[in-house]
């Protein structure tokens, strides 16, 4: 059996982690958990409110704590936030406790997806359209050193969830 029965979906903001995670969980008959939603429930406020009122470092502390609180769950697909792997040894933790799966998109693909949903994301909400692409390029180049350590790296655009399912099953030996 592969580590514990958990799959972590990793990737930049806007890469479709929750959508892919939900589909995969449903095909596997596993539970789906959205880490950002659990953070909001724990804090009793939205992610933009946490960033505004308490600051990013407080958000990162809660994120690491909630991630570890999910440890007892089995047969669960967890979609993480774009920054999750990059703070507080979270990537190390996820590699040790489940199967990690990086949904990879190019900066251009991310930009066209994120331009529609900037407002709900504190790190990019104040960027103009002209600044968005260079922000993504820089941030992604920085973050890929964590993302690239994932057990499975898969293209996020045109994702075939049934193929992904077979890949995951063979990795998990189920």
Nearest-CA neighbor of 34 among 63, 74, 1, 5?
A: 63
> Cβ closer to ligand S3P: 60 or 171?
60
> Cβ closer to ligand S3P: 19 or 167?
19
Q: How far is the CB of 121 from ligand S3P (least distance, A)?
A: 5
> Cβ closer to ligand S3P: 63 or 151?
63
Task: Give the number of C-alpha atoms closer than 13 A to the C-alpha of residue 36, restricted to the C-beta side.
Answer: 20
Q: How far is the CB of 22 from ligand S3P (least distance, A)?
A: 13
Q: How far is the CB of 119 from ligand S3P (least distance, A)?
A: 12
Q: How far is CA 147 from CA 10, 54, 90, 115, 157, in A?
A: 7, 26, 11, 22, 17
**Coil, helix or strand for 76?**
strand
Give the C-alpha separation, 150 to 147, whole Å: 6
Give the C-alpha separation, 158 to 95, whole Å: 26
> Cβ closer to ligand S3P: 2 or 51?
51
Site of interaction with ligand S3P (CB under 6 A): 13, 36, 47, 81-83, 121-123
User: Nearest to ligand S3P by Cβ — which residue?
Assistant: 81
For residues 123 and 81, is the Cβ–Cβ distance under 8 A?
no
Q: How far is the CB of 174 from ligand S3P (least distance, A)?
A: 27
> Cβ closer to ligand S3P: 28 or 50?
50
Q: How far is the CB of 1 from ligand S3P (least distance, A)?
A: 29
């Amino acid at each position: 059996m592969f580590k514990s029965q958990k799959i972590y979906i990793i990737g930049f903001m806007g890469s479709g982690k929750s959508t892919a995670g939900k589909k995969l969980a449903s095909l596997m008959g596993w539970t789906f958990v959205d880490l950002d939603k659990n953070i909001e429930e724990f804090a009793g406020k939205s992610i933009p409110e946490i960033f505004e009122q308490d600051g990013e470092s407080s958000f990162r502390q809660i994120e690491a704590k909630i991630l570890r609180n999910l440890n007892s769950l089995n047969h669960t697909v967890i979609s993480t936030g774009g920054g999750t792997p990059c703070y507080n040894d979270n990537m190390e933790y996820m590699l040790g406790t489940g199967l990690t799966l990086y949904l990879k998109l190019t900066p251009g693909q991310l930009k066209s997806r994120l331009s529609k949903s900037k407002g709900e994301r504190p790190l990019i909400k104040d960027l103009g359209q002209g600044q968005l692409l260079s922000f993504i390029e820089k941030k992604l180049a920085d973050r890929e050193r964590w993302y690239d350590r994932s057990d499975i790296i898969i293209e996020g655009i045109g994702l075939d969830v049934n193929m992904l399912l077979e890949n995951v099953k063979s990795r998990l030996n189920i």
